[in-house]
Every structure is written in C-alpha cells, then in structure tokens.
Amino acid sequence: MTDALNPESATIALPTPKVEVDVSLQHLFNHLADEGFRPKIDDDGSLTFKCEGWKLYLDPYPSQGGFRLYCCVYWELEPTDRTKALNVANEINADRRCVKAVVNGNNTVWLTYETHCADVVEYARTVASAAEFVVSGCREYREAFRRESQPVTLN
C-alpha cells in the first residue's frame, strides 16, 4: 500500500498528511448526508457543505464541547469599507440571537453560529436550522451593507 505523495519540490516528495476525523464530526457528516446535503471534510478537518448557495463550515470545540458553524460573507473588503462593515456587524449582533458577525484584521466578514450541546446527537437535530440562521444572517448582512445611507434633513 502506498501513501499519496505531496510534491514539495522538484527533488523530494513527502507523504500527504492524513487528517484525523473526529467521531462527532463523522456523525454530523452522516446526518447532513441523510438530510440531502453534500458534506465534505476538507484538508484541515472542517466539515463543509453548501446551503442555499452559501458554503458553510462546521468545527467542533474539542476542549469546550459544542460546535461552531460559520460562513464567509465578504472576503477582504477595501480598508475604506471597514467602518461600515463593523457598523453592520454591530447591527446584526444586536438584532439576532445565536448568530454573530465578525470583521477580522483582513477585513473579511464571517458570520458564526456557536452553541453548546450535551452531545452530537442533540446538535445533529439542530444543525439544519442553524444553517438556515447563518444563511439568512448572511443575506441580511449583505442587504444592510449594500444599503446606501440617506442624508437626514433636520428642520
């Protein structure tokens, strides 16, 4: 049996590292597949799947229990848009429960759904609705970000 080789340079090839799949992640993979999604486990061990055209990622929190479901809303906005992105993130965070919008240092906007469940079976029952929360939050974020500010006239 030969392992797949990862070409690092023209002269050497190293074995491709194999990602250990968490048992709870495998359970969620099977559950999502049964629900009609097409889940995949990517190179860094995250479960990925598409929901209504949005690519979602799912990671377990091994030390704390619970799971994080997240999606990229905008990738590397212009630095001039950072203030607007933060303001919209604050609006989303104030208006929605369980969903959190984050603007990181690269001006990339992520929307997350984080929860703690007793076990993976309990979380599996809620993952489809969590995906809907994330997708609707992403849509709401984009609508709010694209909305133009209207000047206010004071009498």
What is the pTM for the complete model shown?
0.75
| 130 Cα distance to chain centroid | 11
Identify the three-state secondary structure at position 34: helix
**CA distance to 7, 8, 14, per residue, from 11 (Å):** 8, 8, 10
Average pLDDT over the chain reads 82
Helix (H, G, I), strand (E, B) or coil at 47: strand
Assign domain 21-144 one CATH number from 1.10.3720.10, 3.40.50.720, 3.30.1460.10, 3.90.1150.200.
3.30.1460.10
Structural domain boundaries of the chain?
A: 21-144
Could you read off the pLDDT of 69-83 as tens digits, one per residue? Answer: 999 998 888 899 999
- The DSSP letter of residue 136 is H
Q: Are the beta carbons of 47 and 29 closer than 8 angstroms?
A: yes
- Residues 13, 20 contacting (CB under 8 angstroms): no
